[in-house]
Structure formats: C-alpha cells, structure tokens
Structure 1
Amino acid sequence: MRKIIKPSLLAVGLLFSSFMQATVSLPHFFSDNMVLQRDMPIHIWGKADKKETVTVSFNGTSITAKADQHGRWQVELPSMRYGGPFSMTVKGHDNTIALDNILIGDVWLCSGQSNMEFNLSGAHNAEEAIRQSENKQIRLLTVPKTIQTNECDDIQETSWEECNPLTSPTFSAVAYFFGQALEKELDVPVGLIHSSWGGTDIETWTSWEAAMENPVYASYKGKTLEKALGYSMQDIERFKKALEKDKGLIEKWYAPTMKTTDWKKVHIPSIWSGDLKNEDGVVWFRTEIDLPDETAGLEGHIQLGGIDDGDITYVNGVEVGRTDFWFANRNYHIKDGILKSGKNIITLRMTDTGTIGGMSAKDEEVFLEVAGRKYPLAGEWSYKPSVLSSSYGFSNTGSGPNSFSSLLYNGMIRPLVGYNIKGVIWYQGENNAAHAWQYRSLFPLMINDWRKQWGYEFPFIWVQLANFMAIEAQPQESEWAELREAQNMTLRLHKTGQAVITDIGEAFDIHPRNKQDVGKRLAQNALKIAYGQDVLGAGPVFESMKKEGNKIILSFSNVGKGLSTSDKNRYSYINGFTIAGSDRKFVWAQAYIHDGKVIVFNDEIKEPVAVRYGWSNNPADNNLVNSDGLLASPFRTDSWKGLTEK
C-alpha cells in the first residue's frame, strides 16, 4: 500500500484558500512491491497540478520534472542493474508518495484469454504448488478487467504483491509457472503483469490505430472508436450497473413460487434468437421436471453443456453452480436434500456480454442425473429478460470485450505503455479458430502494434493451441489446425517463440489443467530468445521435403543432437502423419526416422504429393521431438485452401 505523507498545516491552509492545488498521484501499477525493468531507462509518471514541480528519488538518484498544462509529468531514471529491495519517493508541492520493497529485475507482460487467466488454484497439483509458492523474488500484478472505448492513462485499482500462498492462488497459473522457472534459472527478480480476459478475440487486444490495417475496420479510418461504435462509456456503465442490480436477483426469480405466466417460451438448449438475437444482457430461463419418489433427497448432477457467457443455475430455488466465462461445460453437483419427488424447478440465469448468447449443447447433452439415471431437460422452457442491451443504446454490436476492436487494449494494455518490460507471453487463439486465415495477419499485426507502442522490439512468446475435442477416426480438415498454422507463420517475426502443447491438452476441456509444463516450455523459449542461452527452446521445425518413389522425405532444423520420439519406441515410428496424392485425399501414413530425416509413405499412394503432421483438432499422439524432448509443431507441406480461407 502506498504511504501518502500529509502536507503541513500551513500547506493545508494554502490548499484550502486556493481550492486549486492538486496532489501528486501515480498510476496504480506504481506501488509497493513492484518490479522495475533492469538495464533499461526507468520511466515514472503521473499527475499533479499544472506547472507543479515533482521530484522522484530512487536508488541514489533524484530527478525533477514539471507538470504540463494538463497536469501530466514524467521522469526518466537511468538504467540500473538488478537488485533491491529499494524505496522510492515522489514529492510534489503538498504531498509525498512513499513506495517500499521495490525490486529491479525482469518484467514480463502475460496476456491472452481464459487459459492465461486460469488460476493457479485450478491447476494440477495446485495445493502443493501453492504451498511452495513463497518467493520474495517473484512479484505479481493482476490488471483488473475493464472495457474502455477510449485509451486510458491508468488501470483499475490494484497493486503489486509478493508471491506467496496467500497471493498466488488467484494469479495466472501459466504466468506463475513461467516466472518460477525463469527466477530459478536466472536468479534475478521477476515481475509478472497479468492482463487477460477469457473468451476474447485478438482484435479487442489491438489498438484502434492498428485496427485501421484490419479490413474489417478500415472503413472507420478517421473516426474515433466511440464514433464507430455509436455508443460511449457512459452507455456501457449504465448497462453494467443494471447487470449488477439485476431485478431478477432482487425479486428472486429463481424462487419456486415465482409466477411465470407472462414468460415467453423457447426451446432449450439453443442460441439466443428471435427477440433475443441481437441482445446482450441477462435472461432467465425456467423449466419443471417430475422425478420419482425414490429420488427424493438424493444428490445428483445437472449437465447443461456450454453457455455463452455466464450462468447461475438453481434447482428448487437453491444455487447449485455458477460459471463466469463462455464455452466451459456446465456440470454441477446437486447436494443431497435439494431434489424431491414430483415437481422440481430448474432456473438458469444466463448472462451474455458479447454478441451471441445462449447454450451450444445438443439436446442429449442437457439432462439431470440421479442415482445413475438420466432425466432429459431439453424441450420447451419459459424465459424472461431482466436486462437487455437495446435499452442502453446498443443491440447489434454488444457491450462485451469482443464487440469491437480495441476495447480491452484501451484499458488493460495501453495504460502500461512506457512501463518497460523484458517481453510478453501470450496464450490466445481458441476464440479466433473459426477465422484462422485472418489470424495469419491479425496476430503479427497485434505483436507489431504493441512493439510500436512501447517503442522497441521486445521478445514475444506464445502458446500454440493445445489438442482439444474428440480424436477423429479419419483425417479431416480442422479449424484448430489452421489456427496453429497461423501461429507457426507468425514465427517469421524477429524475437518470437512458441510453446507446443499438443500432448498435454484435454479432449473435452478447453482449459487443460497441466499449466506447469506450459509455463516451463514458455520459459525454455524465453531462455533462448530473450536471454540468448545456448538451448533449443522449442521443438523440431519442418524445413523441406523431397519425393523418392512412393515416399516423401522430410528435413527439419532445431533438432539438437537429432530427431527422436517422445515415447522412445524402438522402431522410431512417428504418429500423426497423413499423406495424399494429386486427388488431395489424405489417408493415414506410416512414418519413421532414418538418418536424421523423417520418411513418410502409404503403400496405396503410389504418387504422393503432400503430407500433413498433427493436422487435426486433437493430435494427442504426436510424438516427434528433438534431443531436448520438445515436440514438433503440427504442419503441412501443401497450401491447399482450408476451412477458414474466404
């Protein structure tokens, strides 16, 4: 917590008499426990009264600046080597801010969607990881979520914290394991700035300036974001307050005694349509189900599939579960004593804050299960909206983070520009899989945008999409494979790296719990790209192919001491390859390692022209690795039109 040194009585009198003097202030990311980037100039800035003189003192250096006519001031301290803890004072005319326990080390910005947001408390072996998280050399800063239609100078209220069992559980698991691996290897303080939001598109993390290079937004060139949107932050704030004061909660629409005679009817599960099609907000849904006598008082489960975005689920007026992010499968436990024989009432409070809302499940995936028996819930439900975005000036675009470009950048990234960082780790792409072709340009656009805003080319390392969804019996086209390809293609940018994790995903959970290996693989990349260590960093990289008879021979770089398989099978057989002739019909192929190359063939394909590796939603059995045991990324040798190319 910041210490504000109060002004003297004389100063208070002068302040009272003038009504004009402002106190010096700092953005929230300048706080006790922060980490400042080593070996780079240190920028400190804030606000004061116009023309006021401000002095910043830190680690033996004092610099003075004068606030401009808008009250903004900034100082630049010289670069410093790692160390600490240190104290800092920021002194103005009438007050002094004192910050303590500051370290100089390496600062990493950690951003993306829900797999970056995923808390340490939900990871594999969470209890042990949390128990061992005490480390004064690692500092944590979580940027609060906010949607902003204009670029901001500050983030929402928050502060840096030391890493320990009290602060680590709610921090990003991927970011924590990444920072832990770096600090252990480098023995240098590590500051982790976590700024992410589940279920978000890459466009919302890109500045409005850069968005003009995206054909979708190019027609708005010359307009402000608010002009393009057609609504403002004031409209959004009114909408948010309505969500917080939902009359459905206040009036207890979940109560079994609630009258629903004026509620409309709709089939559940379904995406919002009809009068809800272009709405964001809160809509309540309700149904009744009859249960036999023998189920009374028993515990059970309610399965609802995926809901976009959030829900609170009630059974007979009792809350049995809630989820605040999209897509995740809703499978809630019903404690004993809630269910009864005869009529049972199920109520869903669905919240949507970004374009499409509703339930994505199939009819057979929505049911109540008691004592091993499933009771279907699909069918006609009653519904009633309690908050609709159209009442606040927007209906087609929505108020969520994906409603328009730049809405998260403005309040969750832009305020940090100038706070020097060592680099960025990024975990996002699931939300853009259906537009993987566009991601080929959108991803490098955002990386170059951030580097431009900061003014230098920092390392940027990301997580490739994990294996996900059911394993397919036959080769098929895949949006997720195309998104991974777009991520691969972005490696052409200087100082970029990628962690391949197609071996540690979960088929039926988009949020795999093994975040330890994700963080470690990101750190391996960082050691090579950001710190210049002589390590491989990532897996084998496909370089070229040549044809010999009915075989295709592949060459790879970044193999270290040679190619191998993760399962160390005695024949060096490789899983996951498909092969096609000129008819472009892919079939499974045999593949093995020979003389440092990969040989791929299928005896039924006499004239092969292309091969693919791991080209599926869930290439879980991929096993091609280098001598450091790091997986090769899925790839293809062809450039044939895919699912997402328009």
Structure 2
Amino acid sequence: MPFRMILSFLCLLCINQAIADVRLPKIFDSHMVLQRNKPIPVWGWADAGEKVTVELSGSGITKQSKTIKAGKDGKWILRLNAAEAGGPYQLVVKGKKNVLTLDDVLIGEVWICSGQSNMQWPVSASDNAEEEIAAASYPLIRHFEVPREISLAPKDDLSKGEWKTATPENVGQFTAVGYFFGRELYKKLGIPIGLINTSWGGTIVETWISKEAMKSFNEFSDVVDAMPVSMDALGEKRKTTLTNAINELQGGIPASGDVQSWSSASFDDSEWKTIEVPGNFDRKDFQYLDGVVWFRREFILPDSLTGLSVALSLGTIDDVDATYVNGIKVGGTASKTATGRIYILEPSQLHAGKNSIAVRIEDFGGRGGFTGKPEDVKISRGAYEQSLAGIWKYRIESYTNNNQFAGPNDAGTLLYNSMIAPLIPYAMQGAIWYQGESNAGRAYQYRKSFPLMISDWRNRWKEEFPFLFVQLASFNANNGDSRKGSSWAELREAQALTLQALPRTGMAVIHDIGNPKNIHPTNKQDVGKRLSLQALKIAYGQNMLSQGPQFQSMQKEGNKAILTFTDTGTGLIASGKYGYLQGFEIAGADKVFHWAKAEIQNGKVVVWSDEVANPVAVHYGWADDNMEANLFNKEGLPAAPFRTDTWKSITEEVRFK
C-alpha cells in the first residue's frame, strides 16, 4: 500500500476514533415509563453539529422519527409528539458512530417521589412487608431510584440508575409511599405508572431548592453568598461546625490518658451530658459524627438475682462495641455485625444493689449508636426483666475526619443540583413529597421555604404540575403541645398554608396513622392511598371527596365556640370506640389553653370548657403527638389539625443559616 494511502487510512481512523458516541441521560433506559399526552423531551450529548435521530415505535403506536443537530457544546434535545398510554415500545437513538436501543418502554403516568426518610422508606420495612412483596405482580408499574449524591453546582446527569419492574424480586427496595401511591393509581387508571424516587433521609427543604431560587428569597440571600465554593471547603465548614459543637458540649476531645478511667465503676460521670438510648448519636447535635462515643448508666440488681448469672442485652449496635460492667469487660465485637449484643454476666462480675455499665461504641461511617428497639435494651433472667432503655450519660472520645464532613444539609441547593437538576426536563405528571421533620425547628420559615421550592421546581419544568405532599404524622418529638408550644404543630400549619399559597397542591393528613414513638410510621399503604385521592381529583379531574374536614370559621355563642368545616362529605363523626371527640382545646384572652369538650351538632363542632367563660381561640390536634385527635368525615378521612388564633409561634425567629 502506497505511503499516501496508509497516511490517509490512519487519518481516517483517527477521525473515526475522535467521534464521540451519542449518549443519553441515565434516566433514559430500558423498562422506562414516558409521560402520556404530553410532548416527550429526549435529550443527550454527541459531537458538535452531529445529527441525532430518535425513533419511537411498536405495536399499537404510530411510529415517530425526529432528527436534531447537536449544538456547539455537543448537547441536543428534541420533543417527540404526545402519545396515548400503552406499550411496550422501542426507543432508538442513532448517531454517526453508535445506536442506542431501549426496549420495553411504556407510556403512562410519571410521578416524582421526593423528600426525606419517610419517602425513602422501602416496602421491605413497611406493614405486611412479606405479603406485599409476594403480591407485587405489577409489570406496568416501574421504579427508578436516583442515587444519593451532593453537588455544589447543577449536574447534567446522574451517576447511575435503572428502571425496575414491580416484581417480588424488586419491589422490596421501592419507595413504599411511592409504590402504594402508584398502585392505587394503577388500579384506578389501568395504565402504566412510572415512579422516580429522588429522596434522602434526614434532609432539609433548603437543600432541594436551586441557588437562583434561594437567592431570590431575602432570608436566604446572605446564606447563598456565604456558600462554600468547593467540596473541600464544604467539608471544612462541616468539620468546623462539628468541632465547635464538641467543644461546647465537653470542652473538646479528651486526652488519651483521661479515657482509660471511663469504664471504671467508680468513675464520676456527673458532668457528662445525657442522651436517649436506643438512638443514633450522629443524627441530632452531632450530625455525621464518625468516631468513638462512650455511654454509661447504672442499674440495681434485685436481691432475688444475687449470686446468679444475668443476661445483659443492648440490642443492635452500629458499628462495634466494647462493654464493661463494674469496670470489667464482659463482651464486645471487633467487626461490624447486625446481630444484637447479648452478654452473660457472671455472679462474680455483679454487685448487690448498684452496678455500672459502660459501653464504648466506635462508628466507622454512616449511622452510629444503639440501633435496636427499646425492648431489646435490658437485663434479664428467666421471667425477670429490667429495662435499660431511656436516659444514659455519654461523652465523645474522638472523631474521624472523613468525607462525611460534607453532608446534604451543610448548604442549600446541594440535592437540587445532584438529584433534581439532572431529571429536568423529563416529562411527568406531578410530584409527591414527604418531608418536614428536619425543618420542624424552623417551621415558621417553612411557610416561605416550602412554597419557594415548589415554585422553583415548577419554573424549572416550565409547568404548573400538581404537587401533593404528606402532612407530618403524629410523633412525640419534644413533648410539644399548646401550653409550651409545638414545632411539629407549627410545621403542619406551614404545610397547610401552602395549600392557600399555591394552586394545584394537595395534602394528605395522616396524624391518625402515625406512631408517637417512631418517626417512621410503617403504615405506608394508607399514606399512598390518601395521596392518590388528591391525585385523582387534582391531576385527573375526578369529582370526588379527596380529603378530610378542613376548618373554615369560628363563631362564639356564650362560652362556646361553634366551628364550621368544608369537605365534610356525608357528615362528621368522632372516630374510635368511645364515640366522643378528642383533641380540642380552648383558651380565653389570657392565651392559656384548657382541654375542651366537643360535640358534633347539626354538621358543626361545638367546643367549650367550664374553665373558659369567654373563648377566644381553639386548637385542634395542636401537639407533636396528636394521635388522639379524632374528627373525621364519614368517608373515613381525618380532619387536618388547626388553630384559630395567630398568636406568636415558638419558631418564628429561627432562620436557616
């Protein structure tokens, strides 16, 4: 072969190798669901100026084929024509060098499922999990889980992800609220349902808002200006916050010699702080703390067990422990294990009367602490049990400098950038949202920050799509109530006010199916069902009752307050076996609330207390734990908690920093 021909061949080979493959975002994959009855955006990357052809075809659909030329930056986007629900179809994307073929593509209803841990909560940890998983034969319900990552700048793609079909093999890891919501829609609509699960436990609303939207809100503007410019800087900021918190708690990290006495029975721990056991020590004051923490408490050995061996149960511990009783090491684990810690205490290790326990826990990463159930933390022998759950003393020995110093709550926008921006402009019907627990301390500001996030997402998608959310369930977070204030009640109020602030929003009220002792109530089936009622009315235009009674107005008649409600359906009822209303309180001008009697009369609720001669305000379900509130309509939907006053909130001055 002549040299000139060889040279030409090599040049052509180099040119061909330089041509990049046409590429799609990770959200586009086989088994995906595309939104029906709306133009279908398809986008990706190729060489600058390269022609890209997208084809959608299959039995029962008119074949579509559209071509677009990539821009100078290599990006391209086109929109296929809107199509009716159906499938399976094939989506083919052709470039100069390669062809991408996506099979088993459905067209139906797509919903974004977002929020914190109660949205992330999987089917496998929900009520009747075994039965639900075994019965999950819904080939037309698909689920895509967005990877949990943070970013200081908007990302154009996800790092990974795949669409999975609702089968017994897959459904256990689906978002439970999303799955049960989607299943209800599927049963009512009979068409494919796509669920995009973009959620992260423990996260605040501010991290889900774009930088531009945060900048537009004057209360966030200075915070945005002070945001770190790199992940390293973000990590240093978090490290500084953690270090300052430890210094404030205990004056810093102790010297190694000091720690040696912490297991001793005679050690004086009177200056140690207290913590609830079981619980994660790195999820409140010391978020993302990885390292070593000591815990201490005492128990009384009854005379009947003197001279006998006793079982010490600590439940599961994350990650490893060394456990001491009266200064003697009685057990421990050298590597991470999910099994419960049960150590047998011999008579020689115990004292009559008072005994001390010291537990050294080392957390390598992720959650750390006592992670079992309260009933698992105890001493026992035979039928005798003594609970050790409750208040323990604790002190931090050390912490590890690792990448967890940069977390999703360390600045605004971090999850919008990494878990929302890459999804835009994927066509969808709407969003469901379960979040707020982590914002309860700033409940008053949530009145603005939550609607800001919703409007931000709508602006980004350029569509006023339905946005449906879950009001906080009953949970005894801080024993909050009308007398000393309740941040959870104020957060619920902020959520309810969002319904007035923005159109096409809906709220599922679930205080009756919460768990006062567990921030993660496991009845996700009814949560999904109540969200689906809102969707059927708001998104699909069905003329139906979608929610429980909503407070409308109050009138006074003597010492009684007369309350009227909307959404009463076929009538108001008091749920429960006793047949009388609970959860109502009433106050006069002194702002002191008293438990009230309440009756349903002629479709209204009459509230009074012998201790309040001239009522000024009524509260209903105004507490962290508002499980007892039991006003429903006959259709079985609970009334939303409310207050009739506008007196100063306990969270009114607290701001995001």
TM-score by length of 2: 0.81
How far off its partner does 1:52 sit? 1.0
Structure 1 pair 193–358 and aligned structure 2 pair: CA distance change class (3 A): closer
Structure 1 pair 603–449 and aligned structure 2 pair: CA distance change class (3 A): same
Q: 2: distance between equivalents of 1:516 and 1:385? A: 40
Instruction: Give the aligned partner of residue 499 of structure 1.
Output: 508
Q: 1: distance between equivalents of 2:523 and 2:414? A: 30
Contact 1:579 1:610 in 2 (8 A): yes
Q: Comparing 93-102 with 263-272, which one deviates more in the overlay?
A: 263-272
SS in 2 for 1:169: helix
How far off its partner does 1:13 sit? 9.1
How far off its partner does 1:592 sit? 0.9
Structure 1 pair 322–586 and aligned structure 2 pair: CA distance change class (3 A): farther
Contact 1:299 1:333 in 2 (8 A): no
Instruction: Give the aligned partner of residue 387 of structure 1.
Output: 401
Counterpart residue identity of residue 99, structure 1:
L
Find out whether 1:607 has 2:614 as its counterpart: yes
Instruction: Give the aligned partner of residue 4 of structure 1.
Output: none
Structure 1 pair 43–125 and aligned structure 2 pair: CA distance change class (3 A): same
Q: What 5-or-longer segments of structure 2 have no aligned partner?
A: 1-7, 58-62, 239-254, 263-268, 324-330, 351-356
Structure 1 pair 418–474 and aligned structure 2 pair: CA distance change class (3 A): closer
Q: 1: distance between equivalents of 2:398 and 2:499? A: 48
SS in 1 for 2:186: helix
Instruction: Give the aligned partner of residue 92 of structure 1.
Output: 95
Q: 1:463 aligns with which of 456, 470, 493?
A: 470
Q: Comparing 334-343 with 441-450, which one deviates more in the overlay?
A: 334-343
Q: 1: distance between equivalents of 2:297 and 2:274? A: 15
Structure 1 pair 13–282 and aligned structure 2 pair: CA distance change class (3 A): farther
How far off its partner does 1:63 sit? 0.6
Find out whether 1:182 has 2:185 as its counterpart: yes
Q: 2: distance between equivalents of 1:239 and 1:203? A: 17
Q: 1:369 aligns with which of 379, 385, 388?
A: 379
Instruction: Give the aligned partner of residue 452 of structure 2.
Output: 445
SS in 2 for 1:413: helix
Instruction: Give the aligned partner of residue 55 of structure 2.
Output: 57
Instruction: Give the aligned partner of residue 44 of structure 1.
Output: 42
Structure 1 pair 467–312 and aligned structure 2 pair: CA distance change class (3 A): farther
How far off its partner does 1:350 sit? 3.8
Q: 2: distance between equivalents of 1:12 and 1:117? A: 53
Structure 1 pair 341–375 and aligned structure 2 pair: CA distance change class (3 A): farther
Find out whether 1:596 has 2:597 as its counterpart: no
1:71-150 equivalent positions in 2, closer than 5 A? 71-150=74-153
Find out whether 1:526 has 2:529 as its counterpart: no
Counterpart residue identity of residue 120, structure 2:
E
SS in 2 for 1:63: strand
How far off its partner does 1:230 sit? 2.7
How far off its partner does 1:213 sit? 3.1
Percent identity reads 42
Structure 1 pair 32–147 and aligned structure 2 pair: CA distance change class (3 A): same
Contact 1:475 1:588 in 2 (8 A): no
Q: 1:159 aligns with which of 158, 162, 170?
A: 162
Q: 2:486 aligns with which of 469, 478, 493?
A: 478
Structure 1 pair 98–340 and aligned structure 2 pair: CA distance change class (3 A): farther
Q: 2: distance between equivalents of 1:339 and 1:26? A: 64
Find out whether 1:300 has 2:308 as its counterpart: no
Instruction: Give the aligned partner of residue 568 of structure 2.
Output: 559
Q: 2: distance between equivalents of 1:568 and 1:302? A: 36
Contact 1:366 1:378 in 2 (8 A): no
1:253-268 equivalent positions in 2, closer than 5 A? 267=272
Contact 1:58 1:88 in 2 (8 A): yes
Contact 2:21 2:97 in 1 (8 A): yes
Q: 1: distance between equivalents of 2:32 and 2:347? A: 54
Find out whether 1:28 has 2:26 as its counterpart: yes
SS in 2 for 1:503: helix
Cα shift readout 1:278-332 (whole Å, capped 9, x = no counterpart): 9955212357999998547x4623488xxxxx86556644279789xxxxxxxx7
Contact 2:314 2:341 in 1 (8 A): yes
Question: Which is higher, the Rg of structure 1 or of structure 2?
Answer: 2
Instruction: Give the aligned partner of residue 333 of structure 2.
Output: 318
SS in 1 for 2:418: helix
Instruction: Give the aligned partner of residue 395 of structure 1.
Output: none
Structure 1 pair 594–69 and aligned structure 2 pair: CA distance change class (3 A): same
Q: 1: distance between equivalents of 2:594 and 2:173? A: 45
1:266-305 equivalent positions in 2, closer than 5 A? 267=272, 269=274, 281-286=289-294, 294-295=308-309, 298=311, 300-302=313-315
Cα shift readout 1:472-527 (whole Å, capped 9, x = no counterpart): 89855211111110011000111111111111111111001111111111111111
Instruction: Give the aligned partner of residue 243 of structure 2.
Output: none
Structure 1 pair 303–475 and aligned structure 2 pair: CA distance change class (3 A): farther
Q: 2: distance between equivalents of 1:123 and 1:45? A: 37
SS in 2 for 1:212: helix
Contact 2:297 2:392 in 1 (8 A): no
How far off its partner does 1:334 sit? 1.9
Structure 1 pair 319–373 and aligned structure 2 pair: CA distance change class (3 A): farther
Q: 1:632 aligns with which of 627, 636, 639?
A: 639
Counterpart residue identity of residue 535, structure 2:
A
Contact 1:295 1:370 in 2 (8 A): no
Structure 1 pair 535–549 and aligned structure 2 pair: CA distance change class (3 A): same
Contact 1:48 1:72 in 2 (8 A): yes
Counterpart residue identity of residue 207, structure 1:
S
Q: 1: distance between equivalents of 2:82 and 2:346? A: 65
Structure 1 pair 176–345 and aligned structure 2 pair: CA distance change class (3 A): same
Structure 1 pair 115–152 and aligned structure 2 pair: CA distance change class (3 A): same
Contact 1:270 1:360 in 2 (8 A): no
Q: 2: distance between equivalents of 1:482 and 1:473? A: 10
Cα shift readout 1:112-143 (whole Å, capped 9, x = no counterpart): 00111111101010000011111111000011
CA RMSD of aligned residues (A): 3.7
How far off its partner does 1:562 sit? 2.1
Contact 2:213 2:456 in 1 (8 A): yes
Instruction: Give the aligned partner of residue 435 of structure 1.
Output: 442
Find out whether 1:549 has 2:552 as its counterpart: no
How far off its partner does 1:351 sit? 6.6
Counterpart residue identity of residue 195, structure 1:
T
Instruction: Give the aligned partner of residue 266 of structure 2.
Output: none
How far off its partner does 1:610 sit? 1.0
How far off its partner does 1:277 sit? 8.9
Structure 1 pair 358–119 and aligned structure 2 pair: CA distance change class (3 A): closer
Structure 1 pair 545–84 and aligned structure 2 pair: CA distance change class (3 A): same
Q: Comparing 121-130 with 561-570, which one deviates more in the overlay?
A: 561-570
SS in 2 for 1:183: helix
Instruction: Give the aligned partner of residue 253 of structure 1.
Output: none
Contact 1:207 1:449 in 2 (8 A): yes
How far off its partner does 1:93 sit? 0.4
Counterpart residue identity of residue 437, structure 2:
E
User: What count of residue pairs does the alignment treat as equivalent?
Assistant: 584
TM-score by length of 1: 0.82
Q: What 5-or-longer segments of structure 1 have no aligned partner?
A: 1-9, 241-258, 305-309, 324-331, 393-397
Contact 1:318 1:338 in 2 (8 A): no
Q: 1: distance between equivalents of 2:87 and 2:515? A: 42
Structure 1 pair 610–104 and aligned structure 2 pair: CA distance change class (3 A): same
Cα shift readout 1:593-623 (whole Å, capped 9, x = no counterpart): 1111111111231111111111111111211
